[in-house]
């Protein structure tokens, strides 16, 4: 059985024939009661302090867990942003390549059109030249015949 300071205070001893001196026993018990009460108070204070410290530790553990979760979210967000950036860059490059191919295709079509028009113009020029030569030669023949009659 554990004695409380009150139990020790109320403790009585039977007196025997040549027993201990009652004053000395009471004096020792008073000192024991005083020490025991101090130990009980100190124990209660230490338990309270341990409880406060455990609450502090739990608070910091909760903060640590929160910070770890925040770091995980931040890391995931960073990876998502990076992934999205790469995807956007790839899309921009693909769009630019498609536009470039269209521009090149349009330019090639324009070159083909211009070459066709050039060839058409050359043909027309050749026809014009041939007709002009024929006309001039026939006019020359007419002139020769006109002047041949005068010679």
pLDDT in tens, 95-146: 999 999 999 999 999 999 999 999 999 999 999 999 999 999 999 998 888 8
pLDDT in tens, 5-28: 777 777 776 776 677 777 877 888
Q: How far apart are CA 139 and CA 120, in angstroms?
A: 28
The average pLDDT across 73-86 equals: 97
Count CB neighbours of 25 within 10 A. Answer: 13
The average pLDDT across 45-62 equals: 97
Q: How far apart are CA 59 and CA 66, in angstroms?
A: 10
Count of residues in the chain:
151
Helix (H) or strand (E) holding 15: none
The token duo for 56 is 């502090």
The confidence score (pLDDT) of residue 82 equals 97
- How far apart, in Å, are the Cα atoms of 88 and each of 51, 80, 85, 92, 94? 54, 12, 5, 6, 10
The confidence score (pLDDT) of residue 148 equals 83
Q: Determine contact, residues 40/5, Cβ cutoff 8 Å.
A: yes
């Amino acid at each position: 059985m554990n004695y409380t300071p009150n139990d020790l205070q109320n403790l009585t001893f039977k007196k025997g024939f040549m027993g201990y001196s009652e004053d000395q026993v009471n004096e020792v018990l008073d000192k024991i009661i005083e020490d025991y009460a101090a130990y009980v108070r100190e124990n209660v204070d230490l338990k309270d302090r341990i409880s406060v410290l455990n609450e502090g530790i739990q608070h910091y553990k909760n903060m640590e867990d929160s910070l770890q979760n925040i770091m995980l979210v931040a890391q995931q967000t960073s990876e998502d942003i990076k992934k999205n950036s790469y995807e956007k860059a790839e899309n921009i490059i693909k769009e630019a390549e498609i536009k470039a191919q269209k521009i090149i295709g349009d330019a090639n079509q324009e070159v083909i059109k211009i070459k066709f028009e050039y060839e058409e113009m050359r043909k027309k020029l050749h026809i014009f030249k041939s007709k002009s030569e024929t006309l001039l030669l026939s006019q020359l023949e007419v002139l020769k015949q006109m002047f041949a009659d005068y010679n």
